[in-house]
Amino acid sequence: MVMSNSVKSYKLEIFNDQYTLLSDESEKHLEKSAALVDKYMKEIADRVTTKDVSRIAVLAAIRLASTVLYREAELEEKQQYETKLIALIDEQLNKQDLPI
């Protein structure tokens, strides 16, 4: 995530509502984020009986949080695998008598 030092005002539409957001993130990043939230809210609204926007927003937030947690777990698992591979390579290199 790349952030600049200047805070700007952005107008975004999510679930047919307009929001003004102050952020130092790029406009493209914020638009993609808003589009993802909008997508999740619309998908959830199509599947649930409630039309309470707050409840739909909370369900979308839970879905996003769940996705983040799964990605963090995947990243941690890959980092642990990488650490083990590096240790194995180091061990094998240390076993060999290589001339310098």
Type of residue at 98: L
The one-digit pLDDT tens for each residue of the chain (100 residues) are 556 679 999 999 999 999 999 999 999 999 999 999 999 999 999 999 999 999 999 999 999 999 999 999 999 999 999 999 999 999 988 887 666 5
Q: Examine residue 21 and state whether it is found in any structural domain, yes or no.
A: yes
Burial of 40 (0-12, 13-18, 19+ CB in 10 A): buried
Q: Examine residue 100 and state whether it is found in any structural domain, yes or no.
A: no
Q: Examine residue 10 and state whether it is found in any structural domain, yes or no.
A: yes
Residues 6+ apart with CB under 8 A from 5: 24
pTM: 0.76
Residue 23's domain comprises 3-95
Look at the chain and report how many structural domains it folds into: 1
**Cα four-point dihedral sign 86, 89, 94, 97:** negative
